[in-house]
Amino acid sequence: MNILEQRAPIKDKSRVQNPVMSSVSNAFLENMDFLKNYLKRFFSQNEDIEDVTQEVYLKAFQIEQKGSIDNPKAYLFRVAKNVALNELNRKSRQMTEYIEERLASIPLDGIDSPEDRLEAQQTISLYCDAAHALPKKCRRVFLLRKVNGMSHKEIANHLGITTSAVEKHLRNGAKRCKDYIRNANHIGTQANLKSQNNGSQCR
């Protein structure tokens, strides 16, 4: 049962408006399925879609208490887009913060030159790319463990899978990230050598 239904229980979800409910509440009930389909553009996990859908309603409802909304349906979709983008940015920041913390634990032999800082930033970006390139379920498990700090058992209960499946996803995720970074570094090295050779030929 969603938040709206908890506030105003109904026996069926017909498209007939309820005059007792606010315009935003009516618009939400009428377009809830469309909102969820729209949010699939941003999220692959059903729980993310459900959470954001409820947040959209709460935000729109709170705004409506301060004044009427001319086009509740259009307003709901605008709120949905903003909430979805904010959530994606939040998750991206969490991933970056985790990687930065991990990198901070790596000694640089006391050297902190601009070149070192640039290399660290490039490494952070590369780690983010590697994590985002993981398969959906593997990425989900990887982020829940590395970013949220959940235990294997907590992840298994949260996703409805076995702890052995969680461990398998984590092993695969670590290996894929390592391979991704190794390949990217190899490609970068080859590109630098090619650029240097081209420069030598132009002299």
* Residue partners of 5: CB distance under 8 A and separation at least 6: none
Q: Which residue has the tokens 């076995």?
A: 162
| Domain termination site, one of 87, 105, 123 | 105
- How many independent structural domains does the chain possess? 2
Residue 72 sits in the same domain as residue 147:
no
CATH of the domain at 127: 1.10.10.10
Q: Is residue 192 part of a domain?
A: yes
Tell me the average pLDDT across 19-30: 82
For 46-92, give the DSSP string: HHHHHHHHHHHHHHHHHHHTTS--S-HHHHHHHHHHHHHHHHHHHHH
Name the pLDDT band for 13 (thresholds 50, 70, 90): very low
Q: Is residue 126 part of a domain?
A: yes
pLDDT at 129: 77
If you average pLDDT over every residue of the chain, what do you get?
75
Residue 92 sits in the same domain as residue 136:
no
pLDDT at 74: 92
Residue 26: domain span: 18-105
pLDDT higher for 187 or 143? 143
- Which residue type occupies 90? R
Tell me the average pLDDT across 118-129: 68
Q: Is residue 74 part of a domain?
A: yes
* Residue partners of 153: CB distance under 8 A and separation at least 6: 163
| Domain termination site, one of 41, 71, 105 | 105
pLDDT at 22: 82
| Domain termination site, one of 72, 105, 138 | 105
Residue 151 sits in the same domain as residue 96:
no
Q: Is residue 200 part of a domain?
A: yes
Residue 142 sits in the same domain as residue 169:
yes
Tell me the average pLDDT across 58-68: 88
